[in-house]
């Protein structure tokens, strides 16, 4: 079932919200030689809109990149046409595909279908949100969407819907300051690829055998990797035996 709805913010005129989105969107850093830069920044704007929208915000417990969700759940981290995973306060999963497009570019049938197929490989997905800065679906994609079953439950949030979702900071600097996200600046701590791979391998093993060992050389981040393993397995208590706190990463000591 294709939906295309997004409630407006009570008491705020559409023209006002539309203006703030358009101004912010024009200020998103771009690189003519690298479309991925704009796309990554647009994903942050999409996160901002979703978490602050009156229709969706109150339902969102966590919104995270697909790779982070996959690592915690013992799955391959490769982006399978799903950019974000939302965990709702009731434990349901919503998948998000973001398309940072020009104002006149529509989502084609291939991208639409890939998003549906990728979402179908994930458990407990009850809603799919396709967020685009363009006008919406192309003709073929829209035709196919009309005949999707109720279980597919796709909501297309296009540029017009983004304009009415909420008010936005009107400069990129103000957006970064308010949202706390700055892909151009200092990155927060993130697990490295080899650590994410280790989490995937260990959690996959522990789901079939009662115990296993992670063997890795000094300095590769075994301690912080173990936190990711525990998180993936839903462990509430994790015990470390070390000769001194100096060998425990500050991220672990600080929780």
Residue-wise pLDDT for 143-183, tens only, equals: 888 877 655 678 999 999 999 999 999 999 999 988 877 65
Q: Does the pLDDT of residue 3 top 50, yes or no?
A: no
Mean pLDDT of the chain: 81
Q: What's the pLDDT at 150?
A: 53
Give the model's pLDDT for residue 125: 92
Please state the rounded mean pLDDT for residues 27-51: 87
C-alpha triplet 43, 114, 148: angle, nearest 5°:
105
Mean pLDDT, residues 238-253 taken together = 63
Q: Regarding predicted confidence, which is higher, 184 or 154? A: 154
Average pLDDT over residues 44-50: 95
77-102: average pLDDT: 90
Q: Look at residue 38 in the predicted model and tell me its pLDDT.
A: 87
184-194: average pLDDT: 62
Q: Is the pLDDT of residue 247 over 80?
A: no
Cα angle for residues 46, 52, 80 (degrees, 5° grid): 30
Q: How confident is the model at residue 6 (pLDDT cuts 50, 70, 90)?
A: very low
Rounded mean pLDDT of 47-60?
A: 94
> What's the pLDDT at 249?
56
Structure tokens at 244: 């001194």
Q: How far is 85 from 63, CA to CA, in rounded Å?
A: 6
Residue 14 pLDDT: 36
Query: CA–CA separation, 175 vs 24, rounded Å?
Result: 8
Report the Cα–Cα distance between both ends of the chain, in Å, rounded: 42
Work out the pLDDT band at 184, boundaries 50, 70, 90: low
Range with the poorest average pLDDT among 60-74, 92-106, 166-180, 239-253:
239-253
Query: Looking at the predicted structure, is the pLDDT value of residue 2 above 50?
Result: no
Res 126: pLDDT: 92
pLDDT of residue 235: 74
C-alpha 100, offset from chain centre: 14
On whether the pTM is more than 0.85, the answer is no
Q: What is the model's pLDDT at position 106? A: 95
């Amino acid at each position: 079932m294709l939906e295309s709805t997004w409630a407006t913010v009570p008491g705020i005129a559409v023209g006002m919200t539309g203006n703030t989105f358009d101004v912010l969107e024009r200020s998103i850093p771009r690189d003519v030689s690298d479309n991925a830069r704009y796309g990554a920044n647009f994903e942050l704007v999409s996160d901002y809109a979703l978490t602050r929208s009156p229709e969706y915000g109150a339902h969102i417990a966590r919104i995270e990149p697909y790779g982070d969700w996959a690592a915690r759940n013992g799955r391959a981290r490769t982006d399978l046409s799903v950019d974000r995973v939302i965990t709702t306060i009731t434990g349901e999963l919503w998948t998000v595909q973001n398309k940072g497009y020009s104002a006149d570019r529509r989502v084609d049938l291939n991208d639409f279908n890939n998003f549906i197929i990728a979402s179908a490989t994930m458990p407990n997905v009850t809603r799919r949100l396709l967020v685009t800065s363009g006008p919406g679906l192309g003709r073929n994609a829209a035709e196919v969407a009309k005949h999707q079953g109720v279980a597919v439950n796709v909501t297309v949030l296009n540029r017009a819907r983004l304009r009415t979702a909420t008010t936005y900071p009107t400069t990129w600097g103000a957006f970064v300051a308010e949202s706390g996200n700055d892909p151009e600046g200092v990155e927060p701590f993130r697990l490295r690829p080899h650590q994410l791979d280790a989490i995937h391998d260990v959690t996959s093993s522990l789901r079939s055998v009662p115990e296993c060992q992670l063997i890795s050389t000094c300095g590769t981040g075994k301690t912080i990797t173990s936190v990711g393993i525990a998180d993936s397995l839903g462990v509430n208590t994790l015990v470390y035996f070390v000769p001194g706190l100096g060998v425990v990463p500050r991220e672990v000591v600080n929780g």
